[in-house]
Amino acid sequence: MGIRTLIVEDGPTARAALAEHLKLDAEIDVVGQCGDSRQAIFAIGRLKPELVFLAVQMRELDGFSVIEAIGPEQMVLPIFLTAYDRQVLSAFEAHDLDFLVKPLTAGQLQGVLQRAKTRLRTETHGEGRGRLVGLLHDIRAHPRHVERVMLRSRGRIVFVRTSEIDWIQAEGNYVRIRAGDAEHLLRGTMRALEARLDPKEFVRIHRSTIVRIDRIKELQPWPTGEYVVRLHSGKEMTLSRGYRDSLRVLLQGESLFAGADEDHAAGRPAQLPRNAGEP
């Protein structure tokens, strides 16, 4: 039996071409093909491949998010498929990871395949895990802000657009995400999720709370120097004193907070400018 191999690529033409090339190698057994990251996460767990050709750029979640969802300690040996991206290629090279630059050629595929076969015969799982952990650390140190968040819910994977999120709150080892009429629990930390969100759209108002800026309606002063943040939905949350500056800068709101400070003294709520809330 050949090396159990999975192809993860959302371009049908590129996926089919790669599968045809791999059929020519008697040591490779293609056990599945996936057109998106959600299929990939389930297929890796179900099909137990030894080798995965994993596209980096995909429409929903990128290839790095697939590894994060599975966990570097559970991830099988990847060969990354990527368009030319100097940052990404430098990270692969720095961590000695195999990759193919699109459009693929038979020559580069053959060389990378031989290297992967050698790794499977000679390397321990711990060596591969260490490289992936280092890669994820480097890639996420310069994050690209996500437009969707992947959530596991009752055996399903749900994608929530960040534009639909109203607020996020920490709950132990999880974060609770409110999006429209639904709430979801995501295992992880506030810091990790905050790093993935666009700081022009989201602001942390408390160590355990992040809100979407355009959902904020007004600030209600408290005698303690804190504020109640009232959202357009009616939800009320606390803006702690330690996070006032971040909200001021993001709203470019010197006038907002000047007025808010006056209102605080008078005990009146501070209304946000029209361009900071809903029209």
| Lowest mean pLDDT, pick from 25-39, 81-95, 198-212 | 81-95
Confidence bin at 268 (pLDDT 50/70/90): low
Asked whether 211 and 169 are in contact (CB, 8 A), the reply is no
Q: Compute the distance between CA of residue 28 and CA of residue 39 in angstroms, rounded to an integer.
A: 21
Q: Which domains does the chain have, with CATH numbers?
A: 3-141 (3.40.50.2300), 148-276 (2.40.50.1020)
Percentage of residues of the chain with pLDDT beyond 90? 45
DSSP 26-44: TTEEEEEEESSHHHHHHHH
Give per-residue pLDDT as tens, 44-91: 999 999 999 999 988 777 899 899 989 998 999 999 999 877 778 888
State pTM to two decimals. 0.56
